[in-house]
Structure 1
């Protein structure tokens, strides 16, 4: 092609955010209700276009999270991927940089700018056939959830969703919520204990609902789980706390 006649394509750059947290016993995602076209009234991931050429991409993601959902103290954001297939946005050629955050105890969102509403929705409900998401946000959400599930396999992230001290059963509930499976308590206990430094036993035991004592733990110094907590869906057996102290 003759460089003298070449013109750069017209491409818009946007950001989208997959923000995940645990609420109750299930994994939730932050969604906004679009207040403008296209997809007026549809649910979508928070996000939007860069404000100008001088705005940093990550800064734009944090700005959109603040403007659309009122999350001023945004959790740590990591790059999830880049989505730029032609036709993904009816307004033109749009390339989006997606970010992921999974954090405990995130506040209720407050809608702003071009969002008519903002809320936490159970991931399982959103990914069911009954919930439509704008643009290609379903695909981005699926990728984000899978990344979050993989992070629990290889890192001690799950302990951040527990209290300062917790039981094996409470830690297992975090894994079940994020992975969306039921885990065999005995196998889970063995896997946790095999990753030395993952958790550390502390303090006195705690009485469970069935009256049995359960050993208390706190997060250990480990940053990478070895061996990893590989996902398995298994039948639930008795003794949900594993071996007693």
Structure 2
């Protein structure tokens, strides 16, 4: 939609608009840059982890930050987010990527007025990422180690991370996004452990299985089974439903 608007906006200009634009000077206004920042969450070794990069350039060189970068002059926001995700993680289109929120406090970046559009990405466990051009290191860090508000991250990235984690936790209640943390096929036990990891609370195995299998479109059986050493576990793939009904309520932590 945004690309279409960029291509066709000239069709709606009047002669008055064109005369106005001929004398318009954008330098009369303070410069504002737009960036995208990515909250990339995965489950590694039974912990909810976020992708962080160590900044390799000023400002705040050496501090851990969320991956991201400036939006190019010919990019849409979604295109910039997908590009940054691919550059920092090697993740190509197909990963869950959604717009999270916009952050634009005047003093959030010392270089200039920078407005950041944050995105949330939920991905299965992946090999360790390779740092991009403006980072010296890239690692998945357990969210629990970073505290509730990501204190110590560069800029306002702690706040962005906290909002991304809470968005992910909330969406597991009423969407099928928990399955995006898993490679297919998976067992109901694998899925339960995702919920337990993201929510930080243990779940009753039998009750969870009943809720998952009674929710239309959440998961689909593959017809195959996995040997567990104590028997066989049925294997499933992601279902087609976008919203779970009934929802799976998050227990109090």
Query: Normalising to structure 1: TM-score of the pair?
Result: 0.79
Residue 182 of structure 1 contacts residue 233 of structure 1 at CA under 8 Å; is this kept in 2?
no
Partner of 2:71 in structure 1?
A: 50
Residue 89 of structure 2 contacts residue 130 of structure 2 at CA under 8 Å; is this kept in 1?
yes
Quick check: 160-169 or 147-156, which moved more?
A: 160-169
- Is 2:138 the partner of 1:97? no
Structure 1 residues 220 and 17: CA distance shift in structure 2, 3 A: closer
- Is 2:159 the partner of 1:139? yes
Q: Which secondary structure state, in structure 2, belongs to the residue aligned with residue 77 of structure 1? A: strand
Higher helix share: 2
Structure 1 residues 47 and 212: CA distance shift in structure 2, 3 A: same
Runs of 4+ in 1 over 6 A off after TM superposition: none
Residue 85 of structure 2 contacts residue 92 of structure 2 at CA under 8 Å; is this kept in 1?
no
| Partner Cα separation in structure 2 for residue 217 and residue 192 of structure 1 | 11
- Is 2:177 the partner of 1:177? no
Partner of 1:230 in structure 2?
A: 249
Partner of 1:71 in structure 2?
A: 90
- Is 2:40 the partner of 1:19? yes
Partner of 1:8 in structure 2?
A: 29
| Partner Cα separation in structure 2 for residue 214 and residue 72 of structure 1 | 30
Structure 1 residues 215 and 109: CA distance shift in structure 2, 3 A: closer
Q: Deviations over 1:3-50 (max 9, x none)?
A: xxx943322211111111122212211110001122110000011223
Structure 1 residues 165 and 113: CA distance shift in structure 2, 3 A: closer
Structure 1 residues 26 and 10: CA distance shift in structure 2, 3 A: same
- 1:129 positional shift: 7.7
- Is 2:81 the partner of 1:61? yes
Partner of 1:86 in structure 2?
A: 106
| Partner Cα separation in structure 2 for residue 186 and residue 158 of structure 1 | 18
| Partner Cα separation in structure 2 for residue 112 and residue 197 of structure 1 | 38
Structure 1 residues 193 and 115: CA distance shift in structure 2, 3 A: same
Structure 1 residues 163 and 42: CA distance shift in structure 2, 3 A: closer
Quick check: 218-227 or 77-86, which moved more?
A: 218-227
Q: Which secondary structure state, in structure 2, belongs to the residue aligned with residue 189 of structure 1? A: helix
Partner of 2:169 in structure 1?
A: 149
In structure 2, runs of 5+ residues without a counterpart are 1-26
Quick check: 155-164 or 36-45, which moved more?
A: 155-164
- 1:205 positional shift: 5.8
Query: Normalising to structure 2: TM-score of the pair?
Result: 0.77
